[in-house]
Structure 1
Amino acid sequence: MERFILNDLLKWKNSNYRKPLILKGVRQVGKTWILKEFGKRYYENTAYFNFDENEEYKQFFETTKDVNRILQNLMMASEQKIIPEKTLIIFDEVQDCPNVINSMKYFCENAPQYHIACAGSLLGIALAKPSSFPVGKVNFMQIDPMTFTEFLLANGDRNLVEYLESVDSIEPIPDIFFNLLYEKLKMYYVTGGMPESVKMWTEARDIEAMQKALSDIIRAYERDFAKHPNVKEFPKISMIWKSIPSQLSRENKKFIYKVVKEGARAREYENALQWLVDARLVQKVYRSTAPGLPISAYDDLSAFKIYLVDVGLLRRLAQLAPTSFKEGNRLFTEFKGALSENYVLQTLITQFEVMPRYWTQTNPPYKVDFLIQRENDIFPVEVKSEANTSSKSLKKFKELFPDKVKLRIRFSLDNLKLDDDVLNIPLFMADQTNRIIGLALKQKYNV
């Protein structure tokens, strides 16, 4: 499988300012595989240390802070070779190893010639604790589920990827490409971007194995809920997790604690929800009151939506059968278009540095699904699950904020087009959003 994060890892390797790397990502997203593949491609050898399989390795970090002594002990214990500048050292499953994480300070200060990458499930939880890591002494990188573009490559559709990347003007996609990409996107909604699920489909075309892979991942996540330090939070985390399909099937999708449990209040469940956010199992999108900069200054912290880490996992958690793939647009329209919103958010997160927000108004009700910040501009985004769509909320948003809106963006099953300042992007082109916005701005404003 081709993962674009390899390009970022190569930049890290070649940087004059390289520090020990902490690679974050949820369980089963491919952290270990990508680091081993990176080592195989770009280093003479890889030295791999798993602190879950070999707990005795932790002792080497408890007795000394001398990195040369630590590495010497690791080499002798594992019979692996470590050569400065030529070996990628991988420390895996470090989430329960604070001494290992803290040692990165000494590797950074005293031994920059060693290339070290750390990974582990629930690292976001570990790093949320006070003094878990030395500030300023590590680089961070996030690995997310496979994008639709990466799915196409894994599926052998390089020609479609090359076509999408060649689009250099805002004009309709020819039917032959449009229809093919539309069908491929439906399959991506079924498999999602978790590598094991993608592999079961792209290599074996085995729906049953793909379903089992997703179920196993969900069960692994649910076992992780029990790792919360406060045992009382475990059932709360589980209830929030299982409520996500119901939350997203609501018309405005605002997270409501009463959907989790009748009579539930924020103060009882907010720690459990924050655990899921820190673990990156869910994405939390705040309501914004206005399209101002910085976008965080306009957050309404009392109103937010939550989405799952992956569209395929959401489909499986919602128990929507893969056979819906054959039923026209059902995958796009099922439970108020939640799969499409989840998919669009997934791809926006990988392209824009600032987490998207959303906007609503009541009396009369209007909602803009996402606000994205691109450089110093904010763009309203609406996600539609059908073709021939109208955008009343986008129209209202422009009426309220006429000087703040250069483009209004709509994702739908319509073709690529720019209608005045409304840019329609086909859902299968969501991975190209940043670049397509640039083309549209150039076409409309010549910038």
Structure 2
Amino acid sequence: MKIRRDIIDRLRQWKNSENRKPILLKGARQTGKTWIMQEFGKECFEYVAEFNFDKVEELASVFEKTKDVSRILKELTLYTEAPIEPGKTLLIFDEIQMCEGALNSLKYFCEDAPQYHIIAAGSLLGVAIRQKKMAVPVGKVQILRMFPITFKEFLGASDERLCQYIDGLDSLEALPEIILSRLELEYKRYLICGGMPEAVTALLSNKGMQAVEDTLQNILDLYTLDFSKYASPIDIPRINSLWSSLPSQLAKENRKFLYRIVRTGARAREYEDALLWLEEAGLIYRVFNVAKPGLPLSAYQELSVFKAYACDCGLLRRLAKLSPEVILSGNSGYTEFKGALTENAILQSLVPQSDVMPYYWSSENRAEVDFILQFPTYVVPVEVKSDTRISGKSLSVYANKFAPPCRIRFSMNNLKENDGLLSCPVPLADWIYKIVGLMKLGK
């Protein structure tokens, strides 16, 4: 089954840009980087010349001998049957972390041969660059992040007409109950499989829940092998412990990351490198606390106070060994972790929509706002509720203290705006920047 990815549109814009630079595609393992490069090549170019530095080790010698782009291109023709023609051929450098010379060559392609279209990607690229002390040609590449399939993309494949209906929203009127009900069902299915392409395909192809479970477990097992293969020996057990602790960290009422949950007596300095490894691998997001919701938010972040989330809600669910049946049935014993899983899924929706990572705010154990979003000229507090119950005072405490221009509460209640408070159904998180735009325009 083919799932339309929004990143294709960004790649199309890049293809037609006059000031184009080679792309360095980053993202967690199994998010579909190789597939998207190949699919983009098939859709938008006459030819695709793919070079995999892991499969063909002798490719590295091409880049060791010279930095001259014309000579590199001549030698690359020996490794592909596709003609390499400017404007007609997409050059794919896959597993580029295996060849530092190829990574450095992107600078010379940018300077001396901008007429060629090049996309490079690699497994654990951020980890490899730091560990091998590889130099990224700053200013000579465009870094593009690849995320798991979003709920919007999932919905487009699962129920295209419903997705088109949501895309067409142009006011803040309540959704028809049938629409809200269908959205809730599709969102539950998304919480089960998450956004890893193979798991999504298994679910939408009706292969059965066991196929989804097996796929997600295989990905988790692959990540565990990555820890052993690519991390330093001292960090391997720490990375494993951090990763395994995510469900426990998020199931707490206060989701602030606590090292003692990882291991009794654990200290921050012992685990900082392990946390950084997981971040660079794209497996976790760290959401930092801000002492004050001022612009820019980064100026007020507290580096020692943060929450850690998984890159994908499906992987988090499987990591927690939560069965799909619990999500579909709404089991009463699922209350605490339901909030954690929903909050993780909301963050997963927010991150691709802005180049500013969300933060969160807390006040002397009296109140905590789940996320703080930075818009160009203002910041917006966000509260997340996993069902229709919306009790809690944190958003009111924040509003009384800082008087934000608007507030957002995600829940399973219908779409509504009242005196600056936007009630938004959880499944619409992927459209929240558009919806806030409608709110600001007074529509």
Query: Could you say what secondary structure the match of 2:185 adopts?
Result: helix
Match of 1:286, SS state, is strand
Amino acid corresponding to residue 396 of structure 2 in structure 1: K
Residue equivalent to 2:140: 137
CA distance in 1, matches of 2:197, 2:30: 7
Preserved CA contact (<8 Å) 1:333 1:386:
no
**Aligned-pair Cα RMSD in Å:** 1.5
SS class of match (1:231): coil
Q: Please tell me whether residue 427 in structure 1 is matched to residue 426 in structure 2.
A: yes
Distance in 1 of aligned mates of 2:215 and 2:251: 25
**CA drift at 1:182:** 0.5
**Cα distance, 1:308 vs structure 2:** 0.3
8 Å contact 2:42–2:48 — kept in the other structure? yes
* Structure-2 change in CA distance of 1:329 and 1:148 (3 Å): farther
SS in structure 2 at match of 1:237: helix
Percent identity, aligned pairs only, is 48
Match of 2:355, SS? coil
Question: What SS does the corresponding residue of 2:139 show, helix, strand or coil?
Answer: coil
TM-score of the superposition, structure 1-length normalised? Answer: 0.96
Corresponding residue for residue 302 of structure 2 = 300
Q: Match for residue 121 of structure 1?
A: 123
Distance (Å, rounded) in 1 between the aligned partners of 2:167 and 2:81: 45
Counterpart selection for 1:266 from 252, 265, 268:
268
Describe the SS at the equivalent of 2:369: strand
Measure, in 2, the Cα distance between the counterparts of 1:329 and 1:300. 37
Q: Aligned-pair distance for 1:127?
A: 3.7
Structure 2 counterparts to residues 197-208 of structure 1, below 5 A: 197-208=199-210
SS of corresponding position for 1:3:
coil
Residue 149 to residue 330, structure 1, CA distance change in 2 (3 Å): farther
Secondary structure, aligned partner of 2:87: coil
**Structure 2 vs 1, CA of residues 57 and 360 (structure 1 numbering), >3 Å: closer, same or farther?**
same
**Is 1:439–2:431 an aligned residue pair?**
no
Contact 1:250 1:336 (C-alpha < 8 Å) held by counterparts? no
Check the 8 A contact 1:186/1:331 in 2, yes or no. no
350-359 or 326-335: bigger deviation: 326-335
- 1-structure distance, mates of 2:392, 2:129: 41
Confirm or deny: 8 A CA contact 2:326 2:334 kept in the other structure: no
Distance 2:338 2:290 in 1: 22
Q: Deviations over 1:137-164 (max 9, x none)?
A: 1011111011111111222x11101111
CA contact under 8 A between 1:280 and 1:309: conserved in structure 2?
yes
Aligned to 2:155: 152
d(CA) in 2 for partners of 1:96, 1:333 = 45
Q: Which runs of 5+ in 1 are unaligned?
A: none
Residues in 1 aligned to 2:97 and 2:247: alpha-carbon distance in whole angstroms: 29
Q: How does 1:55-70 map to 2 (within 5 A)?
A: 55-70=57-72
Q: 1:316 aligns with which of 315, 318, 343?
A: 318
1:188 match: 190
3-state SS of the aligned residue for 2:126?
A: helix
What is the match of residue 417 of structure 1?
A: 416
Give CA deviations for 1:235-269 in whole Å, capped at 9, x if unaligned: 11111000000000111110111100000001111
Residue aligned with 1:232, SS: coil
Please report how far the alpha carbon of residue 398 of structure 1 lies from its aligned counterpart in structure 2 after TM superposition.
Answer: 1.1
For the pair 1:401 / 2:402, whether they are aligned, the reply is yes
For residues 407 and 238 of structure 2, the distance between their equivalents in structure 1, rounded to whole angstroms, comes to 38
Q: Distance in 1 between matches of 2:84 and 2:334?
A: 50
Residue type of the partner of 1:337? G
Q: Is the 8 A contact 1:102 1:132 kept in 2?
A: yes
The TM-score with structure 2 as length reference comes to 0.96
Q: What is the rounded CA distance, in whole Å, between the counterparts of 1:125 and 1:234 in structure 2?
A: 13
Measure the CA separation in 2 of the matches of 1:145 and 1:301.
26
| Corresponding residue of 1:380 | 381
Deviation at 1:391, TM superposition (A): 4.1
Return the alpha-carbon distance in structure 1 between the equivalents of residues 231 and 385 of structure 2: 41
Q: Secondary structure at the residue paired with 1:304?
A: strand
> 1:400 is aligned with what amino acid?
K
The 1:131/1:121 distance shift into structure 2, 3 A limit, reads: closer
- Distance apart, 1:131 and its partner CA: 4.8
Answer whether contact 1:257 1:264 (CA < 8 A) is retained.
yes
Secondary structure of the residue aligned to 2:114 is: coil
Q: Show structure 2 runs of 5+ residues with no match.
A: none
Give the drift of 1:229. 5.0
Report how many residues are paired: 440
Amino acid at match of 1:422: L
Q: Tell me if the contact between 2:63 and 2:72 (Cα under 8 Å) persists in the aligned partners.
A: yes
Q: Which amino acid aligns with 1:251?
A: E
Equivalent residue number for residue 275 of structure 1: 277
By how many angstroms is 1:87 displaced? 0.1
* 2:10 aligned partner: 8
* Amino acid in structure 2 at the alignment position of 1:241: W
Amino acid at match of 1:412: S
CA–CA distance in structure 2, aligned partners of residues 77 and 393 of structure 1: 60
Name the aligned partner's letter for residue 103 of structure 1.
Answer: S
Give distance in 2, aligned partners of 1:205 and 1:316: 17
Q: Is the 8 A contact 1:92 1:119 kept in 2?
A: yes
Q: Deviations over 1:363-409 (max 9, x none)?
A: 5x21100000111110000000120413410100011112xx01110
